[in-house]
């Protein structure tokens, strides 16, 4: 039956085999292309460590006299996976894990991590910085299983060197629970399409009395905008402002906001954006 089928299709077995090989190669190439979307080297820490135990592709920076470092834990949180454990047992100084990435000019990027922190306070963060530009953003890690809010930015038209950082820094009022540790499962930096609007540089956690700062980026809208925070089923803070295409930094002062889930809401013309955050008890660091 097989030879008859080939005759019916007027395809020789050797030709069919060649086409099958080409098809498989194309599929594998497509898979590799999809996997290459993440620009971070050793993004999930499965790529091994150097002689000092630092993940390949990363550099460890520890302040002088500080007790701390980085360890890759195999089979965490499950078999076949790896987790980076960044720790600091000293009250001062910092422990930073850094990677250098070359970006495309004038290109939209998304940067985020999958991980959490132990400290109750928000001294532990992930950041992106492009030297000699205004691009310098940071996001805070959650201390539970909540998703991490991504950082969005557009690369400079000429300066395309980029530093990605995972950092433990300082502590709050000499409290032991603010020293803490960080566990990271994956670090992601990838190109994204340009949206009509977005909220960027907004952290996950804020305190009941705090200063919420972020940036509203707009592609082509110019006019009035309303920025508000809702918590406990009521509006707790509001800012009315004029915006224009591009970056629109804003600050929202929070006073006696109820602790718990909250939502930042932005309306500008027909544009409507929202992003959840957590309000937690504590003192503004």
Mean pLDDT of the chain: 82
pLDDT at residue 228 tops 90: yes
CATH number, domain 195-285, options 1.10.10.10, 2.60.40.2550, 2.40.110.10, 3.40.50.300: 2.60.40.2550
User: Mean pLDDT over residues 112-132, rounded?
Assistant: 83
With a pLDDT cut of 70, the percent of the chain lying above it is: 80
pLDDT at site 190: 96
CATH 2.60.120.260 range(s) for the chain read 38-193
pLDDT at residue 8 tops 70: no
**Of the candidate ranges 79-88, 129-138, 142-151, 238-247, the one whose mean pLDDT is the lowest:** 142-151
* DSSP helix/strand/coil, 210: strand
Phi, psi values for residue 22, rounded to 5°? -60, -40
pLDDT at site 120: 65
Please report how the helices 13-35 and 2-9 are oriented relative to each other, as an axis angle in degrees rounded to 10: 80
Assigned architecture for domain 38-193: Sandwich (2.60)
User: Mean pLDDT over residues 49-67, rounded?
Assistant: 91
Residues 180-194 pLDDT 10s = 788 999 999 999 998
Residues 124, 125, 130, 133, CA torsion sign? negative
Cis peptide bond N-terminal to 256, omega within 30 = no
Please give the helix or strand (H or E) that residue 261 lies within, else none.
Answer: strand 260-268
Work out the pLDDT band at 116, boundaries 50, 70, 90.
confident
Q: Who's near 1: CB < 8 A, 6+ residues apart?
A: none
d(CA 101, CA 164): 8
Q: Which two tokens stand for residue 117?
A: 């922190």
pLDDT at site 118: 77
Work out the pLDDT band at 140, boundaries 50, 70, 90.
confident
pLDDT at site 175: 66
* DSSP helix/strand/coil, 47: coil
């Amino acid at each position: 039956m097989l030879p008859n089928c080939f005759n019916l299709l007027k395809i020789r077995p050797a030709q069919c085999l060649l086409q099958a090989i080409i098809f498989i190669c194309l599929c594998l190439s497509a898979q590799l292309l999809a996997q290459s979307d993440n620009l971070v080297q050793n993004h999930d820490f499965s790529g091994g460590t150097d002689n000092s135990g630092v993940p390949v592709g990363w550099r460890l920076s520890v302040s002088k006299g500080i007790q701390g470092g980085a360890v890759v834990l195999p089979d965490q949180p499950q078999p076949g996976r790896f987790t980076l454990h960044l720790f600091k047992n000293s009250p001062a100084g910092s422990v930073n894990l850094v990677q250098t990435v070359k970006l495309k000019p004038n290109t939209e990027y998304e940067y985020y991590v999958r991980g959490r922190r132990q400290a109750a306070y928000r001294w532990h963060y992930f950041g992106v910085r492009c030297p000699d530009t205004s691009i310098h953003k940071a996001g805070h890690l959650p201390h539970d299983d909540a998703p991490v809010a991504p950082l969005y930015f557009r690369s400079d038209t000429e300066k395309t060197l980029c530093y990605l950082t995972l950092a433990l820094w300082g502590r709050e009022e000499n409290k032991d629970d603010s020293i803490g540790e960080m566990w990271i499962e994956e670090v992601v930096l990838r190109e994204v399409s340009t949206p009509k609007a977005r909220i960027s540089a907004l952290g996950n956690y804020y305190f009941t009395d705090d200063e919420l700062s972020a940036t509203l980026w707009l592609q082509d809208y110019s006019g009035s905008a309303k920025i508000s925070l809702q918590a406990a089923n009521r509006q707790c803070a509001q800012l009315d402002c004029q915006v224009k295409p591009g970056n629109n930094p804003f600050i929202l002062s929070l006073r006696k906001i109820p602790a718990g889930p909250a939502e930042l809401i932005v309306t500008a013309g027909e544009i409507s954006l929202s992003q959840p955050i957590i309000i937690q008890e504590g003192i503004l660091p």
